Amino acid sequence: MPVTVFEQGSTLSEESRASTFHPPTLDMLHALGAAEPLIKQGLVCPTFQYRTKKHGLAAEFDFAAIADATGHPYRVQCEQSKLTRILYEQMRGHPNFELQYDSTVKAASQTGSGVAVTIERNGRSESRSGRYLIGADGASSAVRRSLGIEFEGFTWPDRLLVISTPFDFFEVIPGLASVSYVADPERWYFLLQVPGLWRAMFLVNEDATDERVQTQEFAQMLMAGVVPGIANYEIAHTTLYKVHQRVAKTFKQGRAFLIGDAAHINNPLGGMGMNGGIHDAVNLAARLAKVWRGEADDAELERFDRQRRLVTLEYIQKYTIQNKKNLESPGDEFRDSLRSIAADPARTHDYLLRVSMITSLHRAEELG
């Protein structure tokens, strides 16, 4: 299918956001020839841990337990911006593919037989039309707004501060895994390793202004709580995020579709936002191709909305909200439940299928 991508930036985004690729996402990228270069640029992480600030290690899980269900029984830690470049290199030069930079979509409309977008480029407005439109334009999606599709849900009062440091936590936290979530009723955080850096993500629940929270002093105060006796970290960068849980009222309106953050946003606990977006893209692209070639009728496209929207609500939204509540829950209940899962191979298997998002993909298939 001929595809034109309109990108508002002058280049592909470098923003430091998603970094965790789950096993089934790697399986999908493998089918597209994109998993191997990603793995080469990233870190292969077979295990992840839950810790509590009070007691240290609560449980460690190894994706080897679900090697029967995936060709990639591990997470890969690698920045989203590297995947975008890998995919672009694969597509570049293909006669059916075009990427236009500095092209901001301002409005979208449709008739029974086609779609049209208004693009702003170098201060001028242009109109472009096609048979289908995919809004993959992030959380503030102009496509979603223009089509009047509601973005239902809520915004947490807490913010999330991401602090990157070249400091080597392996040196000072014995037995640490590259992905470690640390529960605490006052202030949870998690540590994620990416090539060359660690990223520490902290809950910020105080009244402090955004400016105050983004100072070196505030970042150092948070980091000093990670390992007793270690302070004055070298900080590569800090970024503050608002945290939302929202899902578009529909992922399909006529000939227009929403995927990725344009369709759903959630807190980053469990690393499901980008992964869910890639699952949307793969699901939709396969269906559009069938309809384009005349191998299926429009009912095929309804399945995209049914499967991906329900799975987003039932699974991604539910478990990311649950993950946040677990990490900030007082008492030992969460720690005890992790320990009992880790002690039982059958429950560990089910649990890993769920956290790796394989269960959500099985559920999508069941929805037909």
Ligand X SMILES: Cc1cc2nc3c(=O)[nH]c(=O)nc-3n(C[C@H](O)[C@H](O)[C@H](O)COP(=O)(O)OP(=O)(O)OC[C@H]3O[C@@H](n4cnc5c(N)ncnc54)[C@H](O)[C@@H]3O)c2cc1C
- Site residues for ligand X per CB under 6 A: 6-9, 13, 17-20, 80, 104-105, 136-138, 142, 162, 241, 260-261, 268, 271-275, 277
In the complex with ligand X, the residue whose CB is nearer, 192 or 301, is 192
- Least Cβ distance, residue 108 to ligand X (angstroms): 10
Contact assessment for residue 237 and residue 164, using Cβ atoms and an 8 Å cutoff? yes
- Least Cβ distance, residue 293 to ligand X (angstroms): 26
Query: CA–CA separation, 138 vs 368, rounded Å?
Result: 27
Ordered strands of the 124-130 beta sheet: 104-110, 115-121, 124-130
Compute, in degrees rounded to 10, the torsion defined by CA atoms 189, 261, 9, 289: 140
In the complex with ligand X, the residue whose CB is nearer, 74 or 335, is 74
- Least Cβ distance, residue 324 to ligand X (angstroms): 13
Cβ-closest position to ligand X: 260
In the complex with ligand X, the residue whose CB is nearer, 106 or 347, is 106
- Least Cβ distance, residue 178 to ligand X (angstroms): 12
In the complex with ligand X, the residue whose CB is nearer, 163 or 335, is 163
- Least Cβ distance, residue 169 to ligand X (angstroms): 17
Place of tokens 């298997």: 349
In the complex with ligand X, the residue whose CB is nearer, 37 or 271, is 271
**267 in helix, strand or coil?**
coil
Count the Cβ atoms, other than its own, within 10 Å of residue 221. 11
- Least Cβ distance, residue 66 to ligand X (angstroms): 18
In the complex with ligand X, the residue whose CB is nearer, 105 or 248, is 105
- Least Cβ distance, residue 68 to ligand X (angstroms): 23
Q: What does the DSSP 8-state code read for residue 169?
A: G
- Least Cβ distance, residue 97 to ligand X (angstroms): 16
Q: Interhelix angle for 273-292 vs 358-366, to 10°?
A: 40
| Residue 27 identity (one-letter amino acid) | D
Strands (DSSP E) contained in the chain are: 3-6, 20-21, 43-45, 47-52, 56-62, 75-77, 97-100, 104-110, 115-121, 124-130, 133-135, 151-165, 179-183, 189-194, 197-204, 237-248, 252-253, 256-258, 264-265
In the complex with ligand X, the residue whose CB is nearer, 37 or 277, is 277
- Least Cβ distance, residue 146 to ligand X (angstroms): 9
Look at the alpha carbons of 326, 328, 330, 335 in this order and tell me if their dihedral is positive or negative: positive
| Residue 309 identity (one-letter amino acid) | R
Q: Are strands 256-258 and 133-135 parallel, antiparallel or unpaired?
A: parallel
In the complex with ligand X, the residue whose CB is nearer, 101 or 170, is 101
In the complex with ligand X, the residue whose CB is nearer, 136 or 226, is 136
- Least Cβ distance, residue 227 to ligand X (angstroms): 22
In the complex with ligand X, the residue whose CB is nearer, 187 or 290, is 187
H-helix or E-strand containing 364?
helix 358-366
Place of tokens 């929202």: 246
Nearest Cα residue to 287 out of 308, 273, 314: 308
Token couple for 55? 């007691």
